[in-house]
Structure formats: C-alpha cells, structure tokens
Structure 1
Amino acid sequence: MRESIVSLTEFKSSASQQIRTLKDHAEPLVLTQNGRATAVVEDYAQYQRQQKSLALLRLMVQGENDIQHGRLTPQSKVFDHLKKRLNAEKEND
C-alpha cells in the first residue's frame, strides 16, 4: 500500500482536494508537522476494512490461544446446546 506525505499546513489549505484524492486512490495520507509524521488520514471505507481485518486477526489469535490451553468444546456438544436453545425459543413463540 502506498502512502502520500503532506505537511499539515498543505493539508489545511487544500483539505477538500486531499479528501477527494483519498477516495479516488484509496491510499492513506501521512500528515507531517515540523517535518515529522504526526497523523494519518484515510478513506473511511478503507478504515472499516482495516478494522474488520484486525478484529478477525484478534479472534484467530484468541482461538489459537484457546487451543493451546485446552479450552475446547466438542462440536457435538455445541450443536446439542444450540438445538436446545432453538427448541426453547420455538416453545416460547
């Protein structure tokens, strides 16, 4: 993924154009202040995709950790539990 680097002053003077460019090119914009990177601006759709990917990775790590520590439930037990819950909900309707 490429990124563009722009000073905060330049971003302030052309924010609308910079935002349009973000949407068109889907690459983050690194803002600098006094020559140092201080913030990143990115398209909201890209941000959402990134957040979903991070959440999925966290779940995978948690799953691996559960496996390593023996925190497992047999598939048959899970399905039996789900069937009981579904049947209970049907009875309540």
Structure 2
Amino acid sequence: MESVISLSEFKSDASRLLREIQEGSESLVLTQNGKARAVVEDYDTHRRRQEALLLLKLMVQGEVDVQRGKLTAQDKVFSTLRDRLARNQVENG
C-alpha cells in the first residue's frame, strides 16, 4: 500500500514519516506541484523488491533460452560450477 503526500509535507515531518515507513509496509509517493516525483520506502522492502525483479528477469531469460534451444545438460552445468569453485579455492588459498 502507498500514501501520497507532498514533498513539503514530507520535509516538514520526515523523521516521523521514515519511522512509520520502517514500522509498516507502506511506501510514500511524494508529489511536487501536484505530480508524483518520487517514492520513499523502507530499505528492506526495497531490497526484497529488487531481488524479486532480478529473479523475474532471470526467469524470462531462461524461458527465452529454452525457446531458442539454448540448453545445457544439468550434469555439465554442475561439473562446470564444481571446476570453477575448485579453481577459486586454489587461487584464494
């Protein structure tokens, strides 16, 4: 859920509003001259949203790869990852 307030309202009571955002899951849409200009949300909420978007992008890319026939056998993927991990462990001692 989100609330809409003016930038001047936010400036006048920023500390309280930030506390409320951290305590709840609500974000604030800040307006300037009657138009939406920015969104303020809790940092953890922002990170979760960014991670969800990244996962969605990866899923879409995976679907595109499948449609194009760009597939790799599971055993080859894990073998390659094990090799890379082993090389990194040797390099980083």
Structure 1 gap segments, 5+ residues each: none
Residue matched to 1:9: 8
TM-score (norm 2): 0.83
Between Structure 1 and Structure 2, how many residues are aligned? 92
Residue matched to 1:66: 65
Distance 2:39 2:87 in 1: 50
Provide the alpha-carbon RMSD of the alignment: 2.3
| Amino acid in structure 2 at the alignment position of 1:61 | V
| Amino acid in structure 2 at the alignment position of 1:35 | G
Q: 1:37 to 1:82 in 2, by over 3 A?
A: closer
After TM superposition, the structure 1 = structure 2 runs for residues 24-39 of structure 1, keeping only pairs within 5 Å, are 24-39=23-38
Structure with the greater alpha carbon radius of gyration: 1
Percent of counterpart pairs with the same letter?
A: 53
Please identify, of 77-86 and 64-73, the stretch whose mean Cα deviation from structure 2 is larger.
77-86
Shift of 1:56: 0.4
Q: 1:57 to 1:35 in 2, by over 3 A?
A: same
| Amino acid in structure 1 at the alignment position of 2:18 | I
Distance 1:9 1:91 in 2: 57
* 2:55 is the counterpart of 1:52: no
Structure 2 gap segments, 5+ residues each: none
Q: 1:83 to 1:42 in 2, by over 3 A?
A: closer
